Structure 1
Amino acid sequence: MKKGIESGRESVGVVIPALNEAGTLAEIILNVKPHASSILVVDGNSEDDTASIARALGVEVVADHGKGKGEAIRTAIAHLKEEITVFIDADGSHDPRDIPKLIQPILEGQADHVSGSRLIGGSSELHGGFDECFRLAGSSFITTLINKRFNVRLSESQNGFRAIRTDVLRNLDLQEDITTIEQEMIIKTLKKGYRMAEVPAHEYCRKAGCSKIRLGSVAFRYVYSVIKYLYLN
């Protein structure tokens, strides 16, 4: 175990970015609680009961400006209290019971940033249609560029389910407003000499609501982001 980081839930804070996720948020919070000493919901100006549900369950809620998941993650940083921060989606696609597995490489001093991988853990929604094929191909291309640049062997770079030492997170100087922040986090972790690891994590189908990602409108931003952080900055 890494010196200075406590064992288990006492050192873990969980951040849940959420936008109109009233249908699933309570279940996620209740299943996260056994694995964390604090939970923070970052609300992207939801029009449903997302914020009130979180508060009713005793969870701290902060608001961002509704720019996207990246802004939600950056907004959370100033409010973090624990030594390890876990990010988990609010739509039910990640299993909170995987949190102990996700943080274990950090507790054992083997990694500073750990991503859950759907490519080795399986996915219930990454296959079967044109959009899914496009997502998989794009994700694989970006991950290949990252692997080549840093001589690592990651299987993916886009999963939002991840754990990171909070001091490392604060040192990354994150800039992205949308889901491109996930590849930015990995690139900057490696560029600054921190250690990445992966663990298998199954991705389940969204349980309620609708996806906030429109691939056609954001694909160019993924390409620009990876070029910017890999080769320009």
Structure 2
Amino acid sequence: MDKIAVLIPCYNEGMTISKVISDYKHVLPSACIYVYDNNSTDKTGEIAHDAGAIVRREYRQGKGNVIRSMFRDIEADCYLMIDGDDTYPAENAREMCQLILEGKADMVIGDRLSSTYFEENKRLFHNFGNDIVRKFINILWHPKNPVRDVMTGYRAFSPMFVKTFPILSQGFEIETEMTIHALDKNLMLENIPVKYRDRPTGSVSKLNTYTDGAKVIMTIFNMYRHYKPMRFFGALSLAFLIAAVVLFLPVLLEFIRTGLVPRFPTFIASGFFMLTGLLLFACSLVLDTNATNSRKDFEIQMNIIRMMLKNDQETSK
């Protein structure tokens, strides 16, 4: 088992990967550096191997697929994930890893947005998108320790996080999924401001502003629906019930005044909305019970994994 494992998912980062490996070797000389080459066509894997990294291949395209394989394959006391594009200086790596090794956090987020990101990043819609995603998550989950950067690829993880994180995303939604998982499961989360520098000339971002941005928003929507069904379906239920009352009141007042129901379509629509609202409320109760049971099962799994990790550490000593 490694003490610190540096994880670098890569797709066509041949221009920068050698420098990234060198920088993190200098700051974390005892760490094992793993580069997972995701079908690169520019000899990223060969360059990384020559620079001294342990190189492995992931043939399923997408960052989420790469992280899934990394988390399954590698055993360590601390995992540090970075991008291979040389946008994250290594100077904060030791501090981030120390928080994990001391048991003060399960995930440490390298917060670019509180530092130099908005000045360095040249893609304006990326700035807007990062800010929107951060605000959505903080509003929907309202954590005591607000998340300052959701889309950053610079993070440190504990073994507990890595071995209990169910990865569903295949692409760049993975960072959003990580953040929401930590918040929903009440894991310890810390933000560390880190400097950000834009990609060097000739290096191209693989993230598509519009398609990947839409996937991130859908990930937030779906995870909120899965993790907070009472709030999600309860809000829909309330909306339908209010609409039903608004439609029904004029019909009721007319009936009280004249004894007639002249607007049958409105009366039928109000009944449909009322029935839909009640069904949504019933669904919210059932799904909330399932979500609560899932959290209970997760806590039991965490206890089992914690015992296994403790036994592994004692055995390795």
Identity of aligned residues (%): 24
Higher relative contact order (CA 8 A, sep 6+): 1
Name the counterpart of 1:159: 152
- Tell whether 2:24 aligns with 1:32: yes
Q: Which segments of 5 or more consecutive residues in structure 2 lack a partner in the other structure?
A: 228-317
How far residue 144 of structure 1 moved from its aligned partner, in angstroms, is: 2.4
> For residues 121 and 146 of structure 1, what CA distance do their matches in structure 2 show?
24
State the distance in 2 between where 1:22 and 1:129 align.
22
Structure 1 CA distance, aligned partners of 2:127 and 2:4?
35
* Equivalent position of 1:140 in the other structure: 134
Cα deviation 1:1-45 (Å, max 9, x = unaligned): xxxxxxxxx721000011111110000001111315211101110
Runs of 4+ in 1 over 6 A off after TM superposition: none
Alignment partner, residue 120 of structure 2: 125
Is the CA contact (8 Å cut-off) linking 2:8 and 2:83 kept in structure 1? yes
Distance in 2 (CA, whole Å) between partners of 1:48 and 1:153 is 39
Paired residue type of 1:200? P
Give the CA deviation at 1:66.
Answer: 4.5
1:187 pairs with 2:180: yes
2: CA distance, partners of 1:100 / 1:219: 31
Query: Which residue is equivalent to 2:168?
Result: 175
Which residue of 107, 111, 116 maps to 2:110?
Answer: 116
Indicate conservation of the 8 Å contact 1:18/1:89, yes or no: yes
Structure 2 equivalent of residue 3 of structure 1:
none
* Correspondence for 1:100 among 85, 94, 100: 94
TM-score of the two chains, using structure 2 as the length reference: 0.65
In the alignment, is the contact (CA less than 8 A) between 1:119 and 1:156 conserved in 2?
yes
8 Å CA contact 2:130, 2:151 repeated in 1: no
Please state if 1:53 is matched with 2:55. no
User: What is the number of residues matched between the two proteins?
Assistant: 223
- Cα distance between partner residues in 2 of 1:29 and 1:113: 22
Q: Shift of the alpha carbon at 1:211?
A: 0.4
Q: CA RMSD in A?
A: 2.0
Query: Matched residue of 2:91: which SS?
Result: helix
CA distance in 1, matches of 2:64, 2:17: 19
Which of the pair is proportionally richer in helix? 2
Give the partner amino acid of 2:163: R
